[in-house]
């Protein structure tokens, strides 16, 4: 079976490295200026062939490179994990200024959480490249999804993900209810921790 990325796999890795390097650069500049960190963890992944094919089928898209690189916007996934809520907003401001990139979509699942309790801030970046893309556009255009979370949100999401993909799980309704309760409690803690931090710094 041919790669759904049609040989653009290396380009995706190059762009992911390039974008994360720019994120590290503004993080380092912030640390040099303030002595504090703007985020705790920065990671990225390229969506697997299997996951991308499943996503295209789910969205009713043809199984080809145009769908994978142009219609689906999370072939590159980047995650920024912060200590506090205000750090997320500070990172969002920096991402809007990222060289060679532009924000084309934003979804705030922190202010308006998903029904299951999921909280995160999602950005879709359009990233310019100095070579033609799959459609022959020059400069080329690629997309990366950035998820911004606190540590509490990230821990919750990891647990929810484990449950979602575990087969034959017992008492799924009970676990879902407990996860929702935990999500709400963690959200309240994030707000309280931010308030305490603000009081300390005031």
Domains recognised in the chain with CATH numbers: 9-156 (3.30.460.10)
Q: What is the pLDDT of residue 161?
A: 87
Q: What is the pLDDT of residue 169?
A: 78
What b/e string do you get for 109-142 counting C-beta neighbours within 10 Å, with b at 16 or more? bbeebeeebbbbbbbbbebebeeebbeeeeebbb
DSSP states along 89-144? HHHHHHHTT-TTEEEEEEEETTTS--TT----EEEEEEEEESS--TT--SSEEEEE
In the sheet with 121-129, reading across from the earlier edge strand, the strands are 41-46, 76-82, 140-150, 121-129, 101-108
Q: What is the pLDDT of residue 78?
A: 98
Q: Render each residue's pLDDT in the chain as its tens digit; 202 residues.
A: 678 999 999 999 999 999 999 999 999 999 999 999 999 999 999 999 999 999 999 999 999 999 999 999 999 999 999 999 999 999 999 999 999 999 999 999 999 999 999 999 999 999 999 999 999 999 999 999 999 999 999 999 999 988 877 777 788 889 999 999 999 999 999 999 999 999 999 8
> Could you tell me the two tokens for 121?
């801030």
Q: What is the pLDDT of residue 1?
A: 61
Number of H helices, E strands in the chain: 6, 5
- CA pair distance 9, 52, nearest whole angstrom: 12
pTM of the model: 0.93
3-state SS, residue 147: strand
Total length of the chain:
202
């Amino acid at each position: 079976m041919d790669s759904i990325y049609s040989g653009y796999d290396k380009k995706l890795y190059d762009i992911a490295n390039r974008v994360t390097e720019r994120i590290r650069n503004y993080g380092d500049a912030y640390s040099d200026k303030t002595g504090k960190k703007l985020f705790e963890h920065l990671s990225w992944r390229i969506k697997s062939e299997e996951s991308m094919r499943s996503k295209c089928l789910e969205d009713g898209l043809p199984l080809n490179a145009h769908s994978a690189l142009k219609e689906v916007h999370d072939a590159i996934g980047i995650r920024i994990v912060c200590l506090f809520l205000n750090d997320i907003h500070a990172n969002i401001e920096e991402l809007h200024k990222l060289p060679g990139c532009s924000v084309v979509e934003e979804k705030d699942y922190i202010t308006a959480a998903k029904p299951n309790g999921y909280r995160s801030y999602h950005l879709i970046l359009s990233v310019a490249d100095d070579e033609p893309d799959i459609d022959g556009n020059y400069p080329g255009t690629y997309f990366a999804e950035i998820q911004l979370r606190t540590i509490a949100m990230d821990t919750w999401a990891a647990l929810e993900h484990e449950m979602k993909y575990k087969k034959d799980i017992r008492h799924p309704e009970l676990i879902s209810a407990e996860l929702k309760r935990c999500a709400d409690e963690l959200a309240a803690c994030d707000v309280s921790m931010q308030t305490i931090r603000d009081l300390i710094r005031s």
